[in-house]
Amino acid sequence: MAYNFLALTNEICGRLNETTLNNSNFASAANFYSTIKDSINASIRDINHQEYNYPFNHNTTEIILDVGVGRYPIPQNAKIVDFDNIKVLRDDELNVSTRILKQIQYNEYTRNYLDDELNTTSTGETPRYVAKSKSNDFVIAPKPDKEYTLEIEYFIVPADLVLFDDVPTVPESFKHVILDGALYHCYMFRDNAQSASLSKQKFDEGLKAMRSLLVNEYINVIDTRVDRNVNTPALRVN
C-alpha cells in the first residue's frame, strides 16, 4: 500500500467504518471526510510541534552571495536555522576553502560591522561571522568581495498535505503515530471521549518513542563518579 495522504485517509476511514476514497473523488470528498483530512494534518502538526530538530525535517540550501551585500533572508519554510554550521563552501576559482562562520550576537554585529555594511565604497572580503538579525534575516561580516557560495542547514516547517499523493515528511515507520493522533481528533469531533482518550494515550506514547529514537542523541557519556578507594593512603595506627 502506498504511503500518502489518500492511504492515510483510507486507513482512518476503515477504522471508523466509513467508505474509502479513491484518486478521483478524494479532492471533492466533503463533510466528515474533510474532518478526517484535517485530523491527519492536525496530527502531523502536533508531531512537528513536539520537536524542532526531527532529522526528517532537516534541509540544506545554498545561496550565491552578492558582492558587497551582507544581509540575506532566512528561508521562508525554516523553523530553526543551525547558525553554528553556516559555511562558505570551497571554490578553487575564487581561491577560498570551506569555512564555518562564527556566530556572533546581532548587537556585536551592529557595533563592529554595521558601518561596513552601509559603506558603499567598501570592497569587502571573505566573510568570517554570521548573526541573526531582529527580523527574519541574517547578516554576514565582513560583507563579501566575491560571489561565494554559502550553505545553510535548517529544519523546515512542513506544509500541510493537500493532494491525494502528497507524502508526509514523517517516515512511514511512524505512520501509526500519525493515525493515532488523527483518530484522537476524529473521536473528539464525534464527542467520543473514551475512544479519544485511548487514542491520545497511544499518540503520546508514540511521540515519546519518536523522541527517544530520533532526537535524543548522546555521543559521549562521561562517568563523573569518584572512586574514593583509588590512591587513598592507608590509615596508620600508632
Regarding whether 107 and 81 lie in a shared domain, the answer is yes
**Beta carbons within 8 Å of 80's beta carbon, 6+ residues apart:** 52, 53, 154, 155
Regarding whether 195 and 128 lie in a shared domain, the answer is no
Residues 59-83 pLDDT 10s: 999 999 999 999 999 998 999 999 9
Q: Report yes or no on 104 lying in a domain.
A: yes
Q: Report yes or no on 12 lying in a domain.
A: yes
Confidence bin at 225 (pLDDT 50/70/90)? low
Q: Give the integer Cα–Cα distance in Å for 229 and 234.
A: 10
pTM of the model: 0.79
Which residue range(s) make up the domain with 48? 5-54+170-215
Position 122 scores a pLDDT of 82
Regarding whether 50 and 132 lie in a shared domain, the answer is no
Regarding whether 179 and 126 lie in a shared domain, the answer is no
Regarding whether 177 and 141 lie in a shared domain, the answer is no
Bridge partners for 179 per DSSP? none
Examine the pLDDT at 216 and tell me if it is beyond 90. no
Backbone angles phi, psi at 5, to 5 degrees: -60, -45
Q: Report yes or no on 220 lying in a domain.
A: no
Domain tally, the chain:
2
Give the mean model confidence (pLDDT) for residues 136-163: 94
Residues 179-206 pLDDT 10s: 999 999 999 999 999 999 999 999 999 9
Most distant CA pair in the chain, distance: 97
